[in-house]
Structure 1
Amino acid sequence: MYQKQYWTELYELKCHQKYLALHQESAENWERRIKVFMAIVSSTSIGGWALWKDLAPLWATLIAASQVVTAIYAFLPFKSRIKPISLAVTSLTVLFDQAEHGWFAVAEGKLTDAEVNDARYKIRKAKTKIMSDTIGVLVIPHDADLMEKAEREAKLYFKNYHGETEDVE
């Protein structure tokens, strides 16, 4: 029973780490798109306006949109999440590596039930501390598609490195 709980803790830690990594990737992609949009509009708008006078309303709209984006850019929620999530992902990856290393002793039955239980709670406590220290009160929105992808990636990881995914459902 305690081995299964440890395995589940390990699996959930991997899913959590993958989920946050996917959120980080998504936020970085949005930031990149916005920066590219602003760079293109600001560098081509004057030249475009002169070349395509027939499209003046389009260029005016793009310039206005870039000004709005510039004004609200610092307040967009994904931007404020990038650094804290990055720190959390790095720390959770280190914790996962330690916990996975501990799995061998658990799987081989080298620990008592009490020791397995303590090891599992140490993982949970460390994860809570990492999230508190890095994310704090920042809200990470739930994204069902990202969670599904994180679970698929975690299952693939366990299949590749442990030959099975155990019963973690």
Structure 2
Amino acid sequence: MYQKQYWTELYELKCHQKYLALHQERAEDWERRIKVFMAIVSSTSIGGWALWREFAPLWATLIAASQVVTAIYAFLPFKSRIKPISLAVTSLTVLFDQAEHGWFAVAEGELTDAEVNDARYKIRKSKTKIMSDTVGVLIIPNDLDLMRKAEQEAMAYFKNYHPRQEDDQ
């Protein structure tokens, strides 16, 4: 029973790490898109007026949009998530590596039930500390599609590296 709990903790940790990594990737994609848009509009607006006089309303709209984006950019929620989530992903990856290393002793029955329970609790406590230290009170939106994808990626990882345990699931 305690081996199963440790395995579940390991699996959930991997899912959590993957989920946050996918959130980070999405936030970075949005940031990149906005920066590219602003760069294109600002660098072509000067030359654009001369080259595209017949599209002056379009250029005016694009420039106005870029001004709005520039004004609200610092307040967009994804931007404030990038650094804390990046730190959390890195720390959770290290924790996962340590927990996965500990799985061998658990799987081989080298630990008592109490030791397995303590090891599982240590993982959970470390994960809570990592999230508190990196993300803090930052709200990370709940996204079921990202969670499904994170679970699929975690399952693929475990099927590759721990096929025997996944067959038992």
TM-score under structure 1 length normalisation: 0.97
Unaligned runs of 5+ in 1: none
Aligned pairs for 1:93-112 within 5 A? 93-112=93-112
CA distance in structure 1 between the aligned counterparts of 2:52 and 2:132, rounded to whole angstroms: 53
SS in structure 1 at match of 2:138: coil
Cα gap change, 1:166 to 1:16, in 2 (>3 Å): farther
Aligned match of 1:155: 155
Q: Is residue 4 of structure 2 the alignment partner of residue 7 of structure 1?
A: no
SS in structure 2 at match of 1:47: helix
Aligned match of 2:66: 66
TM-score under structure 2 length normalisation: 0.97
Unaligned runs of 5+ in 2: none
Deviation readout 1:97-153 (Å, 9 max, x if unpaired):
000000000000111111100100000000000000000000000111111110000
Aligned match of 2:47: 47
**Letter in structure 1 aligned against 2:8:** T
CA distance in structure 2 between the aligned counterparts of 1:6 and 1:167, rounded to whole angstroms: 14
Aligned match of 1:117: 117
Percent of aligned pairs sharing the same letter: 88
Q: Is residue 135 of structure 2 the alignment partner of residue 127 of structure 1?
A: no
CA distance in structure 1 between the aligned counterparts of 2:42 and 2:90, rounded to whole angstroms: 35
SS in structure 2 at match of 1:114: helix
Q: Considering only aligned residues, what root-mean-square deviation do their CA atoms show, in Å?
A: 0.9
Aligned match of 2:145: 145
**Letter in structure 2 aligned against 1:51:** L
Stretches of 4+ aligned residues off by more than 3 angstroms:
none
Cα gap change, 1:167 to 1:53, in 2 (>3 Å): farther
**Letter in structure 1 aligned against 2:133:** D
The range that moved more, 41-50 or 18-27, is: 41-50
Aligned match of 1:90: 90
Q: Is residue 80 of structure 2 the alignment partner of residue 80 of structure 1?
A: yes
Aligned match of 1:23: 23
